[in-house]
Structure 1
């Protein structure tokens, strides 16, 4: 099977135990949980049974080891993850508001995640990989952008493919150069995986149908528009499909979109029909939200098949 490599931030997530507005008073916390959008993606792909590797950087600390242990245990090749002896592993403090939205306090730019380099270990990982997945969250520093763009050129030069998920957090939108870097990856990708209004980030129109046509005209092979609990839609030059979301008891939505994307890309690389890719991905995203912690709901192919079989049984007359 084709091997996926993800590049980007690796961090721990620490969550407030009670809903509220931010972190301006002492409160109970739970964690650390292994996290980082590209790391969640790689972990879910590996759990699904797809060969997966990660290029990134963690500190020589317990937060770094929490991530390395989890990724390695779930089958991710971690040989491209550098351990920096000076910088601390990245972190994200999260608190849910009463309306279900989230407030984040990130330490990524000045953490070990900001020290990703294209060293011999990272190059060796890339040379063994067939597909590159990039999240917009990874493009937070010029040095990282250089690494990602070089990796993209090498993958494409060897006939490989690229998937791109903007995954832009409100807290990151003002970072210098972020939008330009995201647009550069958008122009290179084969598979575009936007969520919600990200669909029109790089188009001249906000009309959904016109935006899809414009994106495909740029040379993108397929678009998967993620719509959260409403499901997702797939578009290519000849096909349009919609997959409803699956109703589950939500515990923690963090990582659902990353899990969806990892499962879709894995299925897509295996040559599965788009409808099957969508159904598997939607099931993966639904399972992800049933556990507390970004990677805790990662699911195997067998678990996804069981979930879909159960849903089909319930829907049968």
Structure 2
């Protein structure tokens, strides 16, 4: 089976126990939960039984150990995750507002996550990889950008593939140099996985069909638009396939898109028919939102099959 790798942030998430706006007074908290968009993605890949590994950096602290224990237990190759002797593991404090939106306080760029870069262990992991998954949120330092672009080129050179999930807000894309970086990644992308409006961050087209035609015309092989409660859509070679979302009681939406992507990419690399891959990935995303904690919602194929059986 093809080995999937990713590069980027590992952090812990700590959540407010009650809805509200911000952290301006003492409130109840729960956590820490293992987190980080690429870490959630690769954990789901491992749960699918796919060989996989991650290049990252954590602190020499309990938060780093929580993540290393979870990833290694679930089957991720953690040999290229460095433990930094001084910088702390990244963190995210989150509070849900009454309207369902979220307020975050992050420490990522200036944590151990920001020290991620090339190491002998990272080189060995890239050498053995067949697929690279890039998260836009992870491209926060020149060292990470250089490593991701180099890994993409090396994996392509031996016949491998690259997937790209922007995971960006428009304001982040306006940061100097970010647009150019994202365009460089997009030029190396075989499978593009934007969430809803992110499709239009990379095309000035007015409609989804026009944006898809524009992006496929640049050499991308397939596009999967993740649209939350609206389901997901697959575009390739003039074909459009849609799969509805599953109705579930949502507890925590954080990480659902990363879980969907991990499932879909693993199935895509196994040549699973796209309609089937969409349905299975939607099921994994639905399972993810029913559990509190961003990485707590990753699931095995047996769990996904059981969910699909109950929703046949």
For 2:281, the equivalent position in structure 1 comes to 281
Q: Deviations over 1:228-252 (max 9, x none)?
A: 0110000001421000000011110
Q: Distance in 1 between matches of 2:279 and 2:56?
A: 30
- Preserved CA contact (<8 Å) 1:252 1:292: yes
Give 1:252's aligned residue: 252
2:181 matched to 1:198? no
Question: In structure 1, what is the equivalent of residue 114 of structure 2?
Answer: 114
Residue 26 of structure 1 is matched in structure 2 by: 26
1:83 is aligned to 2:92: no
Q: Would you say the 8 A contact 1:253–1:288 is kept in 2?
A: yes
Equivalent residues of 2:170, 2:201 under 8 A apart:
no
Corresponding residue number in structure 2 for 1:207: 207
Question: What's the offset of the Cα at 1:128?
Answer: 1.0
Task: Give the match for residue 128 of structure 1.
Answer: 128
Query: Any stretches of 5+ residues in structure 1 without a counterpart?
Result: 313-317
Could you say what secondary structure the match of 1:197 adopts? helix
Q: CA deviation at 1:150?
A: 1.0
Confirm or deny: 8 A CA contact 2:253 2:288 kept in the other structure.
Answer: yes
Aligned 8 A contact 1:142 1:177 in 2: no
Q: Distance in 1 between matches of 2:183 and 2:306?
A: 38
Partner of 2:54: 54
Please report how far the alpha carbon of residue 118 of structure 1 lies from its aligned counterpart in structure 2 after TM superposition.
1.0
Per the alignment, residue 140 of structure 1 pairs with 140
Most deviating of 70-79 and 143-152: 143-152
1:183 has 2:191 as partner: no
Give 3-state SS (helix, strand or coil) of 1:77's partner.
Answer: coil
Structure-to-structure mapping, 1:159-178, within 5 angstroms:
159-169=159-169, 172-173=172-173, 175-178=175-178
Partner of 2:216: 216
Q: What SS does the corresponding residue of 2:122 show, helix, strand or coil?
A: helix
Separation in 2, partners of 1:172, 1:80 = 28
Distance 1:275 1:205 in 2: 26
For residue 153 of structure 1, report the CA deviation from its aligned partner.
Answer: 1.0
Would you say the 8 A contact 2:134–2:164 is kept in 1? Answer: yes
**Which stretches in structure 2 are left out of the alignment for 5+ residues?**
none
1:173 Cα deviation after fit: 4.5
Q: Is the 8 A contact 2:233 2:240 kept in 1?
A: yes
Would you say how many aligned residue pairs link Structure 1 and Structure 2?
312
DSSP-derived class of the 1:205 partner: coil
Please give the TM-score of this superposition, normalised by the length of structure 2: 0.98
Q: CA deviation at 1:113?
A: 0.5
How far is the alpha carbon of 1:177 from its aligned partner? Answer: 2.2
Q: Kindly provide the CA deviation profile for residues 73-132 of structure 1, in whole angstroms up to 9, marking residues without a partner as x.
A: 000000010111011110011110000000111101101011111111001011111000
Distance in structure 1 (CA, Å) of the matches to 2:205 and 2:167: 20
Q: Give runs of ≥4 in structure 1 deviating > 3 Å.
A: 169-176
TM-score normalised per structure 1:
0.96
Shift of 1:203: 1.0
In 2, the alpha carbon distance for the partners of 1:102 and 1:162 equals 30
The corresponding residue for 1:296 is 296
Q: Do the aligned partners of 1:57 and 1:81 also contact (CA within 8 Å) in 2?
A: yes
* 1:310 is the counterpart of 2:310: yes
Q: Is the 8 A contact 2:52 2:76 kept in 1?
A: yes
SS in 2 for 1:262: helix
**1:12 and 1:89 in contact (8 A); partners too:** yes
CA distance in 2, matches of 1:159, 1:196: 30
Using the TM superposition, give the Cα deviation of residue 170 of structure 1 relative to its aligned residue in structure 2, in angstroms: 6.5
Instruction: Pick closer, same or farther for the CA change 1:238–1:172 going to 2, 3 Å.
Output: closer
TM-aligned CA distance change 1:291 to 1:146, over 3 Å: same
